[in-house]
Chains A and B, each alone.
Chain A
Amino acid sequence: MRQYIYAFVVGGIICVIAQVLMDTTKLKPAHILVLFVTLGGVLSALGVYQPLVNIAGAGATIPIPGFGHAMVSGVLEEIEKSGIVGVFSGGLKATAIGLSAAVLFGYIMALLFNPKG
C-alpha cells in the first residue's frame, strides 16, 4: 500500500512540473518531452533517479524521465559487461521492450480505430 502512495505522489509531482512548465512558459509539448527524457538520464547518471524508482516504482519509471533513466542505467550496465561499446548498445538494449511495444501497439490501434473528429 505504501508503495502505491509513493508511486502516486512521485508520478504526480513529475506531471505537475510538466504541467506548470506548459502553462507558464512558451515550451511546446515536444520541448518538454525531450527535456524530461534528458533530465531523467542526467539524474540517473548522478545516481538520484534510482532511489526514486526504489521507493515509487512505476510512479518513477512510467513518466517519460523514466525512459531516460532506463537508457542511462542500460548504458552503465553494458559498460560493466562489454566495455566502451556499451555506450552504443546499452541504451537501446535496455529500452527495446518499451520501444517495440510502442510501435506494435501504436500500429494495432491505428488499424483498429478511425478518429471521427
Chain B
Amino acid sequence: MSGTKKVGKQTVKFTHQPKIISTASIVGPKEGEGPLGRYFDKVLTDNIYGEKSWEKAESKIFKETIELAIQKAGLTEDKIDFLLCGDLLNQTIASNFAVRDFPIPFLGLYGACSTMVEAMVLAAMLVDGGFADYVVAGASSHHDTAERQYRYPTEQGVQRPLTAQWTVTGAGVVTIATEGTGPNITYATIGQVIDLGQKDADNMGSAMAPAATDTIFQHFKDTNHSPDDYDLIITGDLGKLGKKLTQEMLKQKGLDLTGKLEDCGVLIYSDKQDVHSGGSGCGCAATVFSGYLYNQLTNKKYKRIMLVATGALLSPTSSQQGESIPSIAHAIVVENN
C-alpha cells in the first residue's frame, strides 16, 4: 500500500484535517436529568414523543437531530454531499425512516454501539479524500426500542441484573467539513472484531472491554503517541465494569491510562438514577460527544481527545443460539489546533 495517510496497522492520519463544524443532540428525559443534561440541545418530556410507537419516536428524534445539525452549521440540505447514519434496530430502520425525507445521498451503517465513530471516521475519510465538502454523520438509540428487540418489552417489567446497562434514548449528529470553524479530526484507528467468548448479554461492558483495549493499544502503537498527548481518552459505553476491566487490561500491556480514561456510559447518568452499570447504545457515545465533549472542545477545555466507541455485535438470534458476543471498537482523535 502506497497510502501516505495510513499509519501503522490500523490507523489513518487525516492530512487535510476535516473539521467538525456543528453538532446536535436530542435526548430523552432520563438523559436530560443526568449530569450532562444541560449540554444537550433538546430534552424530551417523554420517550414516546407524541408518536404511536417507540420506533416511530426514535426516527422522529433522529430526523430532528439531523435537521438541527445542518441548521447549526448554517447550511441547507442541498449543500450536504452525503449522509451517514446508523442505529441498533433490525435493518437499521431508525436511520432509514429518519432520512427518507432528506434529498441527500445516504449510506446506512451498522456497528452496534460503535456506529457513531464508524460514521465519523467514514465521513472524515470522504472529506479528507476530496470526495465531499460537507458530510453529516450520526447515530441514534432508544431505550424502549432496544429493550423490545434485544431483551424484553418494557411493559413486561422484567428485573434487570446489576451488571446490565441502560440504553440511552437520544441521537447525536455531527457535520464534518473541509472548511469552517471547529475542532479537527486528525487520526482514526479502525478496530478489528474481538471475541473472547463472553456470552452474557446483560454484561456487555465486559464483552466489549477486550475490543476497546485492543483498539486503544493499537492506536498508541501505530502513532507512537503517549497517553500524555491526550487530555481525555473516552470510551463509548463500557459502563463501570467495562471501564475498570479496560483500564486493568491496558495496564497489563504497559499502558497506564489512570486519570485519562473515561466512559460516556458512566458520565451520562448519575448513580442516583438506578441504571446499574451505566448507559449504552449508539446514542450514548453520539449524544455525549455531540453535546458535552464538543462543548468542552470548542471551549478549549480539552486540546486533544480520543473517542473510542465500542460495539457489541450480537443479535437476539445469536444470543438465543448460545453464541458469544463479538465486539468492536473504533477510535477517532479530535483536537483543537
Contacts and interface: CB of A to CB of B under 8 A. Distances in A.
Contacts of A117: 28-29, 46-48, 54, 143-144, 154, 169
A26 B319 CA distance: 13
Interface stretch (B155-163, B177-185, B262-270, B271-279): B155-163
B81 interface: no
B256 interface: no
Contacts of B200: 26
Q: Looking at chain A's contact residues, is the secondary structure mostly helix, strand, loop, or mixed?
A: loop
Interface residues of A, number: 8
B143 A29 contact: no
Contacts of B169: 117
Q: What's the interface size class on B, roughly? A: 10 to 19
Interface string A93-116: 000000000000000000000111
B159 A116 contact: no
Nearest to A23: B161
A116 B47 contact: yes
B154 A115 contact: yes
Contacts, number: 25
Nearest to A113: B155
Contacts of B46: 116-117
Contact of A22 (B28, B48, B154, B159): B159
Residue from A23, A26, A116 whose CB has the most chain B CB atoms within 10 Å:
A116
Contacts of B47: 116-117
B120 to A, nearest CB: 28
Interface in A6-43: 22-23, 26, 29
Residue from A114, A116, A117 whose CB has the most chain B CB atoms within 10 Å:
A117
A110 B47 CA distance: 18
Contacts of A115: 48, 144, 154-155
A100 B47 CA distance: 32
Contact of B161 (A22, A114, A116): A22
Contacts of A116: 46-48
Interface in B28-80: 28-29, 46-48, 54
A14 to B, nearest CB: 16
Nearest to B28: A117
A114 B47 CA distance: 12
Nearest to B169: A117
Interface string B157-177: 011010000000100000000
A29 to B, nearest CB: 5
Contact of B159 (A26, A29, A114): A29
A117 B152 CA distance: 13
Nearest to A106: B155
Nearest to A115: B155
Given A114-B48, A116-B47, A117-B29, 5 more contacts: A22-B159, A22-B161, A23-B161, A26-B200, A29-B158
Q: Which 6 A-B pairs have the closest CB atoms?
A: A117-B47, A116-B46, A29-B158, A116-B48, A115-B155, A117-B46
Interface of A: 22-23, 26, 29, 114-117
25 contacts: A22-B159, A22-B161, A23-B161, A26-B200, A29-B152, A29-B158, A29-B159, A114-B48, A115-B48, A115-B144, A115-B154, A115-B155, A116-B46, A116-B47, A116-B48, A117-B28, A117-B29, A117-B46, A117-B47, A117-B48, A117-B54, A117-B143, A117-B144, A117-B154, A117-B169
